[in-house]
């Protein structure tokens, strides 16, 4: 497997450059994976040959979903040199996909369930065995589907107007930043049935949690006030999920 050398003077440029969302033209601005290709001396791309495609998929989605350049710089810039030469065997790629799946089901989704008051459901996912093999998925479908149904019931208790406000808060701050990234990273592992249930549970729980914030603080206020109340209630969970996602990426990098 080809080894790439980090070009130190290019890496130093990111001390003063900020990462940006989206795809970019050569030598203009950079998302995190374009930055990796740049410092490794590769042609302009957000799919660098030097980096693991599973981790790259996670980070392309997360990069674009973070709410600000400052958050991209804080969370993702330190990863740039670590990502060079992370491409490994297909066996390692599958293991990294399963790590992303495990994180989505046993960490990300329970965080939203607990915030929505679905503590028992959160615990049922947290207590599942660590996902390390594809053969585990048939046994996971039942527990995950049960949680999905409970989360959907909590979501359906919200009025449509509050639900719309909740989705803006939850989707912008967490689901697109973490859940969609994990889905993209784990898609090749072909666990779509379990994924769909876990993803729906996370979305519905987040909506229900944000609905509670909007209802309690600002039902009769303007829509923007409801959004602000929802975002404020969701902020600690969003922050915890971001830090957890960073820890996941570092563990995937360290897997050899």
Res. 173: pLDDT tops 60: no
Q: Which has the minimum average pLDDT: 50-54, 227-231, 242-246?
A: 227-231
Residues 62, 120 within the same domain: no
Let me know if residue 1 belongs to a domain.
Answer: no
Res. 28: pLDDT tops 90: no
Q: What is the pLDDT of residue 200?
A: 64
Residues 20, 76 within the same domain: yes
Counted domains in the chain: 2
Q: What is the pLDDT of residue 180?
A: 46
190 Ramachandran zone, left/alpha/beta (phi>0; psi -120 to 50): left
Q: What is the largest CA-CA distance in the chain?
A: 61
Split at pLDDT 50, 70, 90, the class of 196 is low
pLDDT digits (tens, 9 = 90+) for 98-125: 888 888 888 888 887 887 788 898 899 8
Residues 56, 24 within the same domain: yes
Q: For the whole model, what pTM was predicted?
A: 0.79
Angle (nearest 5°) at CA 231 between 226 and 222: 15
Residues 108, 132 within the same domain: yes
Structure tokens at 235: 């902020």
Split at pLDDT 50, 70, 90, the class of 202 is low
Residues 61, 148 within the same domain: no
Q: What is the pLDDT of residue 32?
A: 96
Best CA proximity match to 177, nearest among 70, 76, 61: 61
Residues 103, 196 within the same domain: yes
Angle (nearest 5°) at CA 230 between 228 and 236: 105
* Average pLDDT, rounded, for the chain: 78
Q: What is the pLDDT of residue 207?
A: 60
> What is the domain extent for residue 247?
90-254
185-221 in b/e burial notation, b at 16+ Cβ within 10 A? Answer: bbbebebeebbebbbbbbbbbbbbbbbbbbbeebeee
Res. 18: pLDDT tops 70: yes
Res. 211: pLDDT tops 80: no
The residue from 60, 83, 106 where one domain ends is: 83
**In the chain, what percentage of residues exceed pLDDT 90?**
33
Let me know if residue 3 belongs to a domain.
Answer: no
Residues 241, 190 within the same domain: yes
């Amino acid at each position: 497997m080809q080894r790439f050398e980090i070009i130190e003077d290019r890496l130093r440029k990111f001390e003063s450059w900020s990462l940006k969302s989206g795809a970019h033209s050569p030598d203009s601005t950079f998302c995190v994976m374009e930055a990796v290709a740049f410092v490794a001396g590769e042609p302009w791309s957000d799919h660098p040959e030097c980096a693991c495609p599973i981790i790259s998929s996670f980070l392309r989605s997360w990069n674009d979903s973070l709410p600000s350049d400052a958050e991209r710089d804080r969370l993702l810039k330190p990863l740039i040199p670590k990502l060079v030469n992370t491409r490994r065997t297909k066996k390692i790629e599958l293991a990294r996909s399963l790590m992303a799946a495990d994180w989505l089901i046993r960490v990300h989704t329970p965080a939203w369930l607990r915030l929505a008051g679905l503590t028992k459901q959160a615990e049922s996912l947290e207590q599942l065995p660590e996902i390390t093999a594809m053969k585990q998925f048939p046994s996971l479908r039942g527990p995950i589907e049960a949680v999905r149904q409970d989360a959907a019931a909590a979501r359906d208790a919200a009025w449509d107007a509050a639900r719309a406000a909740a989705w803006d808060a939850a989707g912008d701050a967490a689901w697109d930043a973490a859940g969609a990234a994990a889905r993209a990273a784990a898609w090749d592992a072909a666990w779509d049935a379990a994924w769909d249930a876990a993803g729906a549970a996370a979305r519905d729980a987040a909506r229900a949690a944000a609905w509670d914030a909007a209802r309690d603080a600002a039902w009769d206020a303007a829509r923007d006030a409801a959004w602000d109340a929802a975002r404020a209630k969701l902020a600690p969970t969003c922050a915890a999920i971001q830090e957890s996602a960073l820890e996941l990426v570092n563990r995937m990098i360290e897997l050899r």
